[in-house]
Structure 1
Amino acid sequence: MKVVMGSDVKGFELKEFIKQRLVYLGYDVEDITPKKMNDFYDVTTDLTEFIQKHDDSQGVMFDEYGVGPFMIANKCKGIICANVFDEHSAKMTRAHNNTNMITIGAGIVGNRLAERIVETFLASDYEGGRHQIRVDMLNKMC
């Protein structure tokens, strides 16, 4: 699995912290914003395009609050994104919604919690079964 990451200026430091941790853990990380970018819209659309082209990838987007990129990502075909603030939500959105992208607000979530959120999201598996009906409905929306 490839982990694709991006951030705007407000999420850059947290993204860099998480990227170092994931590389240390052995994840294959693609950072689409190695330099600070101002516009979360452009970064989010670039990130979703990467995920659309690479089925085996999972995305993580960082900005100040996570809400803007969350809304943008969910407008893109094939993307199911959640704005998460805790480990349980990260696990459950992956397990029940087959989420392929999360957003995290650096102005809300600190380094250690973000670390646990991302690691939980990436370690979680989609359960399928009864949840597939909802996932199919989400995928029909775009």
Structure 2
Amino acid sequence: MDVVIGADKDGFDMKEQVKKYLQERHYHVLDVTPKPASDFVDSALAVTKEVMSGKAHKGIMFDRYGIGSMMAATKVKGMVATNVGDETAAHQTAEHNGAKAIAIGTGLIGIDRALGLIQRYLDAEYVDGRHQVRLDMLAKMI
């Protein structure tokens, strides 16, 4: 699976640890911030661009609280992203909401928890069906 990752200065250290974790598990990792982005808006939009272009299947964004990256990413038409802090939410957002990216707040959770929720997110696939109705409703709002 192709995964794109990006971070601002507050998320950079965790992003580097996650990158190593993913590579050790044979994910193809596209790092859009080999150096920290100056702002979470820049890193989130870089991740979003790669996911929306089809160059990556899923994206992971890192900043201090995760909320800023999520907000920036979801400004792009068609992007579904959320801020996650637990494994159930990470799984459900992929399976039920078709999330194309998740945002992680490095000031809120540690690396062990982050790795657990990232793995749950990556292991989940969108199930479509009744959940597509909601995505269609969201698409009409933009």
| Structure 1 counterpart SS, 2:30 | strand
The alpha-carbon deviation at position 94 of structure 1 amounts to 0.7
Residue matched to 2:115: 115
Q: Percent identity of the aligned residues?
A: 42
Give the corresponding residue for 1:39: 39
For residue 127 of structure 1, report the CA deviation from its aligned partner: 1.4
Q: Mark the runs of 5 or more structure 1 residues left unpaired by the alignment.
A: none
CA contact (8 A) 1:80 1:138 kept: no
The AA in structure 2 aligned to 1:24 is E
How far 1:55 sits from its partner (Å)? 6.4
Give 1:92's aligned amino acid.
Q
Instruction: Show the counterpart of 1:22.
Output: 22
CA distance in structure 1 between the partners assigned to 2:106 and 2:4 by the alignment: 17
4+ residue runs of structure 1 moved beyond 6 angstroms? none
**8 Å CA contact 1:33, 1:43 repeated in 2:** yes
TM-score normalised by the chain length of structure 2:
0.96
Q: Distance in 2 between matches of 1:42 and 1:139?
A: 23
Residue 56 of structure 1 and its aligned partner are, at CA, apart by 5.1
In the other structure, the counterpart of 1:53 is: 53
2:3 and 2:93 map into 1 onto residues whose CA distance is: 17
Q: Could you say what secondary structure the match of 1:97 adopts?
A: coil
| Secondary structure at the counterpart of residue 36 of structure 1 | coil
Hey, what does 1:7 align to over in structure 2?
Answer: 7
Letter in 1 for 2:44: T
What SS is found at the alignment partner of 1:21? helix
Q: What's the TM-score, normalizing by structure 1?
A: 0.96
User: d(CA) in 2 for partners of 1:56 and 1:49?
Assistant: 9
- How far does residue 141 in structure 1 lie from its aligned partner after superposition? 2.9
Length, aligned pairs only: 142
Q: Is there any run of 5+ residues in structure 2 with no aligned partner, and where?
A: none
Separation in 2, partners of 1:46, 1:97: 21
Match of 1:133 in 2: 133
